[in-house]
Amino acid sequence: MDLAILTHGSFPDRAKTGVGLLRYGDQTVRAVVDRERAGQRVRDSLPDVQDAPIVASMADAPAVDALLIGISPIGGEFDESWREDVRTAIERGCDVYSGLHYFLAEDEEFADLAAEHGVELHDLRKPPDDLSVAAGTAGDVDATVVTTVGTDCSTGKMTASFEIRDAARERGLDAAVVPTGQTGIAITGRGIVVDRVIADYAAGAVERLVEAEGDRDLLVVEGQGAIAHPAYSGVTASILHGSAPDALVMCHEAGREAVHGYESFAIPPLSEYVDIYERMAAPVSDASVVAGMLNTRHLDGDEAAHAVADYADDLGAPATDPVRHGVPDEVLDAVV
Amino acid sequence: MDLAILTHGSFPDRAKTGVGLLRYGDQTVRAVVDRERAGQRVRDSLPDVQDAPIVASMADAPAVDALLIGISPIGGEFDESWREDVRTAIERGCDVYSGLHYFLAEDEEFADLAAEHGVELHDLRKPPDDLSVAAGTAGDVDATVVTTVGTDCSTGKMTASFEIRDAARERGLDAAVVPTGQTGIAITGRGIVVDRVIADYAAGAVERLVEAEGDRDLLVVEGQGAIAHPAYSGVTASILHGSAPDALVMCHEAGREAVHGYESFAIPPLSEYVDIYERMAAPVSDASVVAGMLNTRHLDGDEAAHAVADYADDLGAPATDPVRHGVPDEVLDAVV
């Protein structure tokens, strides 16, 4: 599929969805639509992802199959300054993908226009309306299932999931990510935003996603939140049990000692945190933490190497910073 | 408030909501509406709850302020054979309370009739529409907060919660249950059905309930599911962390060894299960399991006494079957 990605004013640092797709998507990106960088190219900012021209508006973009809203502002609102671009995309026969809280399909103008032009509006945060409680059957799939877990939100679980997938594919395995958040869903075109699902159905949503691709060699389930997080532990527990994993990969950001946004809550020591995950998992699956992923973005090169080595020691398992150092053989061996 | 309770064909054994209210509600029940027991009285079946006549239809009931749908059929559908009774109640100026999945307020006939007669339709399973993520602040309330947890669904967490409340009240404490399920909500007229809330907001819903009554002496938070349940652990984790309890009360049904409805999953040994709860709670609050509640309904009297004693030994904490033996001082002492 050929795509344009809208990131007005946010490329690249505040366009997580768009950049994730440029890095990990199987789609071909024909243009980034960002009025503040028009005339530049993607590789001027990001040398290691697929390249594309940056244009000022959808009217300037080459022919594509779909437009993706590649930014997620706080609150998930639709910015009215994007309306003309979305309108143009629909009129040009493009489907539109959005991870906003604001549902495009419920916008009267867009809905009418989409019907008129025979295109689809995909609101990625909207869960399917036929979800149900988990049956406890995800453990029966043929695939090796690995679930990424973390010490907090935003520790790199999604990135770790895609890096493991790509390393496994290089080894010739049929590997896929099971996305549970909007960025992963935008990248793969599959998945369910689990934190948006009714609590009773959250594990069932994950189970359904795992079973839908259960005949692959490797499924990497994207975790969310953290099992000891004061607000999001329920989502994490649902993913942990709903995916019935064979193994866990522990994701952490170097130097983070308190829960982000909840600074009165200390992040437990790593060995204790691993123990909580493994004891929680045990009644449903015998998964243990087999590898670690450390986000070292705030460290320099030497510090990062030391931090990863220390992290591996603390875990008693191989570790890496997948963005900085990729996924080395010893980590992938532990995972698959 | 004076109530009638509709239980057609289900009183008493399949009318959990109605019987819960008869046992624990502060409301005065003027009639049970059950066409199969019309002419009997509540005490003919249940000697230890408030008494009321059983009538065949709402038309036969004495004057009341409200009608409660006191049954929850599987699937939560509305049975059309109840329509005439609900219609009669509204026409007589009664509010109607319902814990069904089917929302009465979205039934066109009932909505129109309620508007015409100036009465309110309360759908207890419908969450408030202004929920948000937890702030991690429930631990700051003045009240002692005790959360009931369990080894499975349907182990008696709701009953244990109300029995602890009543024992604490007898001791002169200002105690309340924080209800998280439809029956507890019907009994108290407060609460949120947490399993119906969007996963991201589940802990926040519990936090809000705790903070709303944080100036009492004792709050007993009604738990749901079980922390190692393959389908419902997310709801349990959200209640555990959202309530930030000072102590936990462990609820179990004597003899149950596998997860109900998920028989391939063994219930972990009790000491291991306690450990999972305490390790999960620890990063948010330092709650430990201080007492146990054992449901011995399938045992005879001697067996029950032995089972409770064994359960207390296994827990290393005082225990009781609150339905059979009440809440003795040593249990209440441990809780408050």
The pLDDT of residue B278? 98
CB contact under 8 A, B232 and A197: no
The pLDDT of residue B31? 98
CB-based contacts of B262, cutoff 8 Å, min separation 6: A135, A136, B229, B230, B231
**At residue B95, does pLDDT exceed 80?**
yes
Band of pLDDT at residue A98, cut at 50, 70 and 90: very high
Residue of A nearest to B261 (CA): A135
Cβ atoms of residues B288 and A306 within 8 Å: no
Tokens of B24: 């624990």
Taking only the tens place, the pLDDT of each residue in B137-147 is: 999 999 999 99
The pLDDT of residue B73? 79
For the packed helices B233-243 and A233-243, what is the interaxial angle rounded to 10 degrees?
160
Is A279 part of the contact surface with chain B (CB cutoff 8 Å)?
Answer: yes
Cβ atoms of residues B51 and B43 within 8 Å: yes
* Count of C-beta atoms within a 10 Å radius of residue B28: 12
Q: Which CATH architecture has domain B138-335?
A: 3-Layer(aba) Sandwich (3.40)
Find where tokens 């639509």 sit.
A33
Is B127 part of the contact surface with chain A (CB cutoff 8 Å)?
Answer: no
Taking only the tens place, the pLDDT of each residue in B205-242 is: 999 999 999 999 999 999 999 999 999 999 999 999 99
3 state DSSP class of A323: helix
A-chain residues near B242 (CB < 8 A): 230-231
User: Which DSSP category does A13 fall into?
Assistant: T
**Chain B: nearest CA to A267, how far in angstroms?**
7
Q: How far apart are CA A223 and CA A237, in angstroms?
A: 10
CB contact under 8 A, B237 and A241: no
Nearest neighbour of B265 by CB, restricted to A232, A280, A284? A284
CB-based contacts of B30, cutoff 8 Å, min separation 6: B2, B3, B4, B52, B61, B62, B63, B64
Pick from A270, A279, A285 the residue to mutate for testing the B interface (most B CBs within 10 Å): A279
CB contact under 8 A, A204 and B241: no
Tokens of B45: 């079946």
Band of pLDDT at residue A316, cut at 50, 70 and 90: very high
Backbone angles phi, psi at A54, to 5 degrees: -105, 130
Is A132 part of the contact surface with chain B (CB cutoff 8 Å)?
Answer: no
3 state DSSP class of B69: strand
Q: Which residues pair with A295 in a beta bridge?
A: A253
Q: Mark residue A207 as left, alpha or beta (left: phi above 0; alpha: psi -120 to 50; beta: remaining).
A: alpha
For residue B217, give the nearest of B290, B289, B145, B138 by alpha carbon: B145
For residue A41, give the nearest of A50, A33, A56, A52 by alpha carbon: A52
The lowest-confidence range among A70-74, A171-175, B312-316 is: A70-74
**How many CB pairs below 8 Å do chains A and B form together?**
150
What percentage of chain B carries pLDDT values higher than 70? 100
**HSE-CB of A84 using CA atoms within 13 angstroms:** 9
Nearest neighbour of B264 by CB, restricted to A136, A196, A272? A136
The pLDDT of residue B74? 76
Domain parsing of chain B, residue ranges: 2-123, 138-335
A-chain residues near B202 (CB < 8 A): 199, 234
* Count of C-beta atoms within a 10 Å radius of residue B54: 23
Instruction: Give residue A66's identity as a one-letter amino acid code.
Output: A
For the packed helices A157-170 and A16-24, what is the interaxial angle rounded to 10 degrees?
10
B-chain residues near A230 (CB < 8 A): 134, 136, 203, 241-242, 244, 284
Q: How far apart are CA B124 and CA B196, in angstroms?
A: 11
Taking only the tens place, the pLDDT of each residue in B25-74 is: 999 999 999 999 999 999 999 999 999 999 999 999 999 999 999 998 77
Taking only the tens place, the pLDDT of each residue in A227-271 is: 999 999 999 999 999 999 999 999 999 999 999 999 999 999 999
The pLDDT of residue B75? 77
User: Which DSSP category does B11 fall into?
Assistant: T
A-chain residues near B265 (CB < 8 A): 136, 283-284
Band of pLDDT at residue A72, cut at 50, 70 and 90: confident
Q: How far apart are CA B124 and CA B120, in angstroms?
A: 12
Asked if the peptide bond before residue B12 counts as cis, ω within 30 degrees of 0, the response is yes
**At residue A74, does pLDDT exceed 80?**
no
CB contact under 8 A, B136 and A230: yes
Do the interacting molecules here have an ipTM over 0.95? no
Taking only the tens place, the pLDDT of each residue in B256-294 is: 999 999 999 999 999 999 999 999 999 999 999 999 999
B-chain residues near A275 (CB < 8 A): 279
3 state DSSP class of B246: coil
3 state DSSP class of A326: coil
Q: How far apart are CA A70 and CA A10, in angstroms?
A: 9
The pLDDT of residue B101? 85
Indicate the burial class of B284 (C-beta count within 10 angstroms; 0-12, 13-18, 19 or more): buried
What is the rounded average pLDDT for all residues in chain A? 96
Pick from A74, A206, A238, A263 the residue to mutate for testing the B interface (most B CBs within 10 Å): A238
Band of pLDDT at residue A101, cut at 50, 70 and 90: confident
The pLDDT of residue A189? 86
The pLDDT of residue B189? 85
What percentage of chain A carries pLDDT values higher than 70? 100
Tokens of B321: 């079957």
Q: How far apart are CA B308 and CA B297, in angstroms?
A: 12
Residues A11-25: what's their mean pLDDT?
94
Taking only the tens place, the pLDDT of each residue in A265-292 is: 999 999 999 999 999 999 999 999 999 9
* Count of C-beta atoms within a 10 Å radius of residue A217: 16
Tokens of B152: 């499975």
> Which chain B residues in 77-116 lie under 8 Å from chain A, judged by CB atoms?
none
Cβ atoms of residues B169 and B24 within 8 Å: no
The pLDDT of residue B320? 98
Residue of B nearest to A200 (CA): B195
Distance between start and end Cα atoms, chain A? 30
Distance between start and end Cα atoms, chain B? 30
Q: What is the CATH number of domain A2-123?
A: 3.40.50.720
Question: Do B2-123 and B138-335 share a fold?
Answer: yes
Q: How far apart are CA B142 and CA B284, in angstroms?
A: 17
Q: How far apart are CA A100 and CA A123, in angstroms?
A: 7
CB-based contacts of B168, cutoff 8 Å, min separation 6: B175, B217, B218, B220, B332, B335, B336
**At residue A76, does pLDDT exceed 90?**
no
What percentage of chain B carries pLDDT values higher than 90? 96
For residue B205, give the nearest of B176, B182, B238 by alpha carbon: B238
